[in-house]
Structure 1
Amino acid sequence: MRSKWNLGSIGLKTATLFGFLFIHIPILIIIMYAFSTDEKTFQFPLPGFTTKWFGVAWERNDIWEAIILSSQVALISTFIAIFLGTLACLAVYRSQFFGKEIISFLVILPIALPGIVTGISLRSAMSLFGIPFSTWTIVIAHATFCIVTVYNNVLARLRRSSHSMVEASMDLGANPWQTFRFVILPNIATALLAGGMLSFALSFDEVIVTTFTAGQQSTVPIWMLTEFIRPRQRPVTNVVAVFVILVTTIPILVAYYLTKEDDGRKK
């Protein structure tokens, strides 16, 4: 019987631990400095512990305006992504036609490209067609990559599902809309919800694409990027960063457990 503590196992566990620490220690540092009494510099250990910066951030109107804008953009982008991503998935799934692979590639391309390339491309296109930069240009930009998360989640769910239920529904006289409503939709509901939550999290903290398409609008990430270079604003910026961590982490965790539980039921 081979020991579970052999050299390979220890090396893999050690590498996993270092990777985990490398990713999460900076997040813990940001959370820690949100409670620092020092206004200008980062010191360790902390010179003091305070929660006053949370009160300062709560009373800042510019922060609330950025949060409201980011929330509106994320919600609208998510709904657009759910609608278009689902339609694209249903069009591609189990259909054979010329250019199918090209369409699939074009759908997932925005999330594969570097954000700066997507941002420059969208800005150039909007300038070419004379579209003024506003909240809606941010929504359009975010929807391009949010669609991918919904598309991938729904497509993966459909590939794991039995198509015989759809065929049975059609054989029993149901029209395409009834089949979608009573057979397909309940089957992909958790995948839609998980994809929507991931889309919301991606949109809420997106900064690169937003920078190129926002104009004078200031979302939370852009506000943080602007304020962080001001030394006296760093504690408040760290407080907002803690808020962003919560807003983006919770939907991702919920999406993870939704897909995990569904996978468990499928087995």
Structure 2
Amino acid sequence: MHSEKASFGLKLAAWGGLLFLHLPLLLIALYAFNTEEAAFSFPPKGFTLHWFSAAFARPDVLQAIRLSLQVATLATAIALVLGTLAAAALYRRDFFGKQTVSLLLVLPIALPGIVTGLALLAAFAGLGLKPGLLTMVVGHATFCVVIVHNNAIARLRRTSHSLIEASMDLGADGWQTFRHVILPNLGSALLAGGMLAFALSFDEIIVTTFTAGHEKTLPLWLMNQLSRPRDVPVTNVVSMLVMLATMLPILGAYYLTRGGESVAGSGK
């Protein structure tokens, strides 16, 4: 009889892969509490929270955090609106150009980041827009839309259309049907899509490099710190905060969509 349990070798390979992927992240978190100012002194000589207070006392760090939060929040809000509307338009009916529209939605995240960044830079230059907050928000929203769209369209395809027809038969107008039938069914999928989009935007660096101009988000600040070895302890603290800011929304989105077909992308 075939056993459904994984063999010891397969388990060992899986844990080895996880360790290979996450050990560098664990080391960065460990160095954030190290008492030594040396870049990477192992094993750590002691435990301290000094570098956290030092990081939050720096105006450049706080400014970068505020800018990253602002860009990610605005990009996520735009993605929630456009991604949901696109999903509502595409999930049931066929029309001429439907596949082209679907391809255009996926294209910004499917292309290499440098290609997307160059294309956005050329488009903004053609429109006479100088790189700054607006261009960053638009640039991030272009690849966040597909995250929300995939979650929303997967949930819509699993929602029985008879519920919508029953609502309309009972006298509800379009807004009432959306508010009381469609939106409650989409709630967790939109929340998960929004959390994933926020995490994706918060730590984006390639597209941001082409659209930020003189502005510095947190990832750009971290990249600039690589040439300053004396600031490594503070950099480790900020790196750990970026990891938490991206990991927690992803874990939350996984919790909201686990065990079902509403996982991002399953509706494609």
The TM-score, its normalising length taken from structure 1, stands at 0.93
Alignment of 1:30-49 (within 5 A): 30-49=28-47
Structure 2 residue 67 is the aligned partner of structure 1 residue 69: yes
Residue aligning to 2:182: 184
| Contact residue 39 and residue 231 of structure 1 kept, 8 A | no
Residue aligning to 2:265: none
Q: Secondary structure at the match of 2:7?
A: helix
Residue aligning to 1:98: 96
With over 3 angstroms needed to count, the CA separation of the structure-2 counterparts of 1:261 and 1:15, relative to structure 1, is closer
Residue aligning to 1:24: 22
Structure 2 residue 237 is the aligned partner of structure 1 residue 245: no
Shift of 1:187: 0.4
| Contact residue 39 and residue 235 of structure 1 kept, 8 A | yes
Structure 2 residue 230 is the aligned partner of structure 1 residue 220: no
Residue aligning to 1:163: 161
Shift of 1:261: 7.0
- Quote the Cα distance in structure 1 between the aligned partners of 2:89 and 2:121: 29
Q: 1:143 aligns with which of 124, 132, 141?
A: 141
Shift of 1:4: 5.7
User: Partner amino acid for 2:155?
Assistant: R
Runs of 5+ unmatched residues, structure 2 = 263-268
Structure 1 residue ranges (4+ consecutive) displaced by more than 6 angstroms after TM superposition? 261-264
Residue aligning to 1:206: 204
Runs of 5+ unmatched residues, structure 1 = none
Residue aligning to 2:193: 195
Q: Over the residues paired in the alignment, what is the CA RMSD in angstroms?
A: 1.7
- Quote the Cα distance in structure 2 between the aligned partners of 1:47 and 1:39: 10
Shifted more, 135-144 versus 153-162: the winner is 153-162
User: Partner amino acid for 2:187?
Assistant: A
Q: Secondary structure at the match of 2:14?
A: helix
| Identical residues among aligned pairs (%) | 58
- Quote the Cα distance in structure 1 between the aligned partners of 2:245 and 2:200: 10
Q: Secondary structure at the match of 1:168?
A: helix
Residue aligning to 1:118: 116
The TM-score, its normalising length taken from structure 2, stands at 0.92
Residue aligning to 1:9: 7
- Quote the Cα distance in structure 1 between the aligned partners of 2:67 and 2:28: 23
- Quote the Cα distance in structure 1 between the aligned partners of 2:163 and 2:129: 45
- Quote the Cα distance in structure 2 between the aligned partners of 1:4 and 1:260: 21
Residue aligning to 1:81: 79
